[in-house]
Structure 1
Amino acid sequence: MPDPAATRELRMYGVNAVRAVFARRPEALRKLWLSEERVGALRDVLKWCAAHRVGYRIVPDEDLRKLAASSHHEGVVADVARMPMPRLDTWLATRSAGRDCALWLDGVGNPHNLGAILRSAAHFGIGALLIPRDSDLQLSGAAARVAEGGAEAVDFVRLPAAHEALSMLRRAGYTTAATLVDGGDDLFATPLPQRLVYVMGAEQRGMDRGLAADCDLRVSIPGSGAVESLNVASATAVLLAAWARSTG
């Protein structure tokens, strides 16, 4: 597990990612770097920074590339405070009754996949990404940029042991659905419940079969067979769209 003291801040880049932080929790901004070309578009952010003694600097593109460790910085880089990661019981206590959906990520690690998952989750109003207790998965700058602001709209929640998490979710009225490459019920022919947690498998090895067996449902996305499967980010978008259509 990462040292909490070393992960309290995140270096974020990309216009929509930084703007989403400013819109939802401006107090999280710690420092800002931007290109001359972005000054006009981010004038309101700079005004807030000046009023609240948050440092910012106008720097050349080469400095932005070094700060972001990426050429995809879009003219702005920021150090921001990370959102806290509540425990599952704490998060469940905040959820209202009725329609709700979350994603249990059992092994997703690629930052571009994580960013795409966050973007889809935000688009469909998904409540949280549920992170296994022994996972070191956390938001990165690359994932936040790919999410295009979606990272600020979706909670990261720390799970207890799998059997305990499943029990807690059931008591809160959630059905768990293991997502399998094959062998599950046809997603599009399966009635989906109002309160659902999709359990997503790892990018390379797929779904843990023991965990899949412990879930309430097992679903697969039917396809032509021309490729083995969708990648985890594409599959997530399809799964969430199916839930939204079934329960909306």
Structure 2
Amino acid sequence: MAKDPRNDSPWAGAKPRTERVSKREREALAARAPGPRPRDDRDGGRRDVRRDVPPPARDPRRAATAPASPEAARDPASREQRLYGLNACLAAFARRPEALRKVYLSEARIGALRTVLAWCVQRRIGYRVVETGDLDRLAASRHHEGVCFDLLRPEPLALAALLDAQPPAPQASLLLWLDGVGNPHNLGALLRSAAHFGAGGVIVPAQAGLDVSGAAARVAEGAAEVVPLVQADDAQHALRELHARGYVLAATVPRDGSPLYATTLPRRLVLVLGAEGEGTSEAMIGSADLRLTIPGSGAIESLNVAASVAVLLGEYWRQAHA
């Protein structure tokens, strides 16, 4: 007998579920949403409740990389991103609710997501209550915290637009330049520190292909919606533009730099941070106006990039607000 191709699916044997939200509760959710209520229809406003859960997210090891080819850029699927984690999803909804395309949630999260569900009902956006195992597969992670959103990606921000949004010289402004950082958990952690200490944005070379993945957004706990990440197409042109706007570039090095706590930090500063292991490239160190080292006991060579960012930004904040 021929093999049933459906048995090869990661969803084989899974039982798709519909929402457990009653018709009366859906009507109450719709009433809370701003704007005109949608007309009634036969399914009571539910969307996609009979469809199987879609296939899992892309390989998480590649989730931090933006599409590299023009063909991928034209693929409609590449225009969407999958976020998970309660704070990450709520922050994205608060900043750009019009980008929401689909919601998956556990039954336990219905109460926390009532505003989102009201929005979905009012605008006929699909949402589903699913099992924890389904969310594990959708997020390619067990750290989804009971919720997963599909959203349109925000439009890319150009470097010039980022710089125009910063306070003009000689006012204080702080930016980050990531030289080879690729770990999504480190990216998420440093975005969280950047938001806490008021950094204006993060710049990465376009050829690095770094983007905010679901894992990075979850670790950032909403900071990915606050701190813009900009890809610089031409690194040398970007460095010249930063200098023209009055910024000083400070490369962080594990040794032989100016001790952080004994250095008066420039008010307009770009902190250059390198990847785990390799550190900041020699080319970027050579382009920097200043080298900074975080002093310590010497028991280990250095902090990881996420911890380094927290220390550096904390010292910048202390000096700027002393």
- The TM-score, its normalising length taken from structure 1, stands at 0.96
1:100 pairs, out of 173, 183, 186, with 173
- Counterpart amino acid of residue 83 in structure 1: P
Q: Which moved more, 1:24-33 or 1:2-11?
A: 2-11
The Cα of 1:90 is off from its aligned counterpart by: 2.6
- Counterpart amino acid of residue 117 in structure 1: L
Q: Is it true that 1:127 corresponds to 2:221 in the alignment?
A: no
Q: Where in structure 2 are the equivalents of 1:1-248 lying within 5 Å?
A: 2=68, 3-6=72-75, 7-97=78-168, 98-248=171-321
- Counterpart amino acid of residue 14 in structure 1: G
Conserved 8 A contact 1:108-1:114: yes
The Cα of 1:178 is off from its aligned counterpart by: 0.5
Q: 2:187, 2:148 → 1: CA distance? A: 20
- Counterpart amino acid of residue 117 in structure 2: L
* CA deviations over 1:57-107 (Å, ceiling 9, x no partner): 111111111111111110000111222222212321222322211110001
Conserved 8 A contact 1:85-1:155: no
Q: 1:15, 1:108 → 2: CA distance? A: 25
Conserved 8 A contact 1:203-1:231: yes
- Counterpart amino acid of residue 163 in structure 2: L
Say what the alpha-carbon RMSD is for the aligned residues. 1.2
Q: 1:216, 1:234 → 2: CA distance? A: 23
Conserved 8 A contact 1:201-1:208: yes
- Counterpart amino acid of residue 193 in structure 2: S
The Cα of 1:150 is off from its aligned counterpart by: 0.7
Specify the structure having the higher radius of gyration (Cα).
Answer: 2
- Counterpart amino acid of residue 255 in structure 2: D
Unaligned runs of 5+ in 1: none
- Say which structure, 1 or 2, has more relative contact order (CA 8 Å, 6+ apart): 1
Per the alignment, in what secondary structure is the counterpart of residue 207 of structure 2? Answer: coil
- Counterpart amino acid of residue 168 in structure 1: E
Residue equivalent to 2:11: none
Q: Which moved more, 1:34-43 or 1:89-98?
A: 89-98
Q: 2:120, 2:199 → 1: CA distance? A: 31
Sequence identity of aligned pairs in percent? 53
The Cα of 1:30 is off from its aligned counterpart by: 1.0
Structure having the larger proportion of residues in strand: 1
Unaligned runs of 5+ in 2: 1-66
Q: 2:158, 2:276 → 1: CA distance? A: 24
Q: 1:77, 1:189 → 2: CA distance? A: 45
Q: 2:129, 2:205 → 1: CA distance? A: 40
* CA deviations over 1:7-27 (Å, ceiling 9, x no partner): 321111000000001111111
The Cα of 1:167 is off from its aligned counterpart by: 1.1
Q: 2:303, 2:258 → 1: CA distance? A: 16
Q: Which moved more, 1:86-95 or 1:49-58?
A: 86-95
- Counterpart amino acid of residue 234 in structure 2: A
* CA deviations over 1:201-240 (Å, ceiling 9, x no partner): 1112001112112111110100100011100100010011
- The TM-score, its normalising length taken from structure 2, stands at 0.75
* CA deviations over 1:93-133 (Å, ceiling 9, x no partner): 22232221111000111111111011111111111110112
Conserved 8 A contact 1:16-1:148: yes
Conserved 8 A contact 1:14-1:76: yes
Conserved 8 A contact 1:87-1:158: yes
Q: 1:178, 1:212 → 2: CA distance? A: 6
Per the alignment, in what secondary structure is the counterpart of residue 134 of structure 1? Answer: helix
